[in-house]
Amino acid sequence: MAVARTDKLPVQASEDIVRVRQVVRTWAVELGFNLVDQTKIVTAASELARNTLIYGGGGTVELEWLVEGARRGLRLTFADQGPGIADVEEALRDGFTTGTGLGLGLGGARRLSSEFEIRSQPGAGTVVRITRWK
C-alpha cells in the first residue's frame, strides 16, 4: 500500500473541527468517493475530532491518501495526549459517555469506517485510526 499524499491538521479549538470536516470532504471528493461514502467519512471525522478536542484536550489529525492497486482510500489518524480511556471496549459501546453527549461517537465512527483501530492508555492519550475505502 502506498501513501500518495499526507497532511496534518491541528485539533485545538472548535473551529478546527469545522476545518477537519472541510478538508476531509475535499479529499473524499478528490478520491472519487460517492456522496454516501463522503458523508460517512466526514461524519466519522467530525465525531473523532470532537472527541479529540473535548476528551483529549486537543491534538492532531493526520490525513493519508492511500493507493492499493486499483483501490483508493482515505486514512485519518487522530492523536491526543489527554487522560486516555480506561476501558476501550466500554467506550465503544453505544450509550456510554463520560460527558454530556449521546455516547455514539466512537462506536458510530467504527461503523462508518471500513477499518477502525484504537489505542489508548490512561495518562498517555489516545490514537484512533480510521480508513474508508472507495
Residues 23, 120: Cα–Cα separation, whole Å: 26
Q: Is the domain 2-133 a CATH 3.30.565.10 member?
A: yes
Banded model confidence at residue 94, pLDDT cuts 50, 70, 90: low
Q: pTM for the complete prediction?
A: 0.91
Please write the tens of the pLDDT for every residue from 13-46: 999 999 999 999 999 999 999 999 999 999 999 9
pLDDT in tens, 69-82: 999 999 999 999 99
88 half-sphere exposure, CB direction, 13 A CA radius: 13
